[in-house]
């Protein structure tokens, strides 16, 4: 992907049109350069900046410039960190459990948790963090799934039972074995 294609991709997500307005051109080019032109980063970061003021763009650019050029996950994490708490929880739920599930069923689960599921899901989709297939199933890019699962894993690396979510069969069995140690059976 050449520089012009990268800028067009970023412009489409950041402005919902192919080219940035003249007063955002320099900032847009700096964003493309800072993300290394990586398509997923361009899409997610561009979507997160849609309808935001220039000062928000400038702040995002400074944040991105602090991240190592090779660390795509850290660049994507910046968009996660910009989410509201409820949206972060919904993102992590999707990454750990809900990929491939019907959005209406998932929204029913989130509603039961007291979340405003339609508002949160819309925010995740607008930011290109979650997509909905034509069949109505939730999906996300593998790197975003890995980002979400890594965020949860970092909650407690050594004790999966202390994390907010457990999705790995190995971790579930480990937690069940640990929890049942010392229980006597009659």
171 and 103 belong to one structural domain: yes
Same domain flag for 41 and 17? yes
Give pTM, 2 decimals: 0.85
Q: Taking the CB of residue 159, how many other CB atoms lie within 10 A of it?
A: 12
Q: pLDDT digit string (tens) for 106-150?
A: 999 999 999 999 999 999 999 999 999 999 999 999 999 999 999
User: Is 186's pLDDT higher than 70?
Assistant: no
Please name every residue paired with 55 in a beta bridge, in sequence order, or none if there are none: none
pLDDT in tens, 70-89: 788 888 999 999 999 999 99
Do residues 146 and 107 both lie within one domain?
A: yes
Final residue of a domain: which of 48, 71, 94? 71
Distance separating alpha carbons of residues 48 and 44, to the nearest angstrom: 6
Please give the mean pLDDT across all residues of the chain. 91
Specify if 167 maps to a domain: yes
Domain that holds residue 24: 3-71
d(CA 11, CA 24): 10
**Confidence class for position 59, pLDDT limits 50, 70, 90:** very high
Q: Is residue 139 part of a domain?
A: yes
Residue 10, both tokens: 């970023």
Indicate the residue among 71, 97, 113 that finishes a domain. 71
108 shares its domain with 174: yes
- Give percent of the chain with pLDDT exceeding 70: 95
**Domain-embedded: residue 128:** yes
Q: How many structural domains comprise the chain?
A: 2
Query: In 10 A of CB 99, how many CB atoms?
Result: 17
User: How far is Cα 12 from Cα 7, in angstroms, rounded to an integer?
Assistant: 8
User: Which residue is it, tokens 């800072």?
Assistant: 34
Shared domain for 89 and 67, answered yes or no, is: no
Give residue-wise pLDDT tens across range 155-167: 999 888 899 999 9
Chosen domain end from 71, 99, 130: 71
CATH number of domain containing 168? 1.10.10
pLDDT of residue 119: 97
| Cα distance between residue 117 and residue 70, in whole Å | 34
Task: Give yes or no: residues 63 and 90 share one domain.
Answer: no
Give the per-residue pLDDT at 76.
Answer: 92
Q: Are residues 103 and 51 in the same domain?
A: no
Contacts of 105 (CB under 8 A, 6+ apart): none
């Amino acid at each position: 992907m050449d520089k012009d294609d990268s800028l067009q991709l970023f412009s489409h997500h950041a402005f919902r049109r192919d080219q940035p307005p003249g007063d955002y051109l320099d900032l847009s080019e700096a964003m493309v350069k800072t993300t290394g032109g990586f398509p997923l980063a361009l899409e997610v970061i561009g979507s997160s900046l849609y309808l935001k003021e220039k000062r928000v763009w400038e702040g995002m650019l400074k944040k991105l410039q602090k991240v190592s050029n090779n660390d795509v996950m850290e660049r994507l994490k910046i968009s996660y960190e910009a989410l509201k708490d409820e949206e972060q929880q919904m993102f992590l739920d999707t990454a750990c459990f809900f990929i491939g599930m019907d959005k209406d069923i998932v929204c029913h689960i989130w509603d039961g948790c007291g979340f405003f599921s339609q508002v949160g899901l819309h925010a995740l989709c607008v930011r290109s963090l979650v997509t909905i297939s034509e069949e109505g199933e939730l999906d996300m890019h593998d790197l975003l799934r890995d980002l979400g699962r890594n965020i949860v894993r970092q909650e407690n690396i050594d004790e999966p039972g202390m994390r907010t979510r457990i999705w790995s069969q190995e971790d579930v069995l480990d937690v069940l074995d640990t929890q049942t140690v010392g229980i006597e059976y009659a």
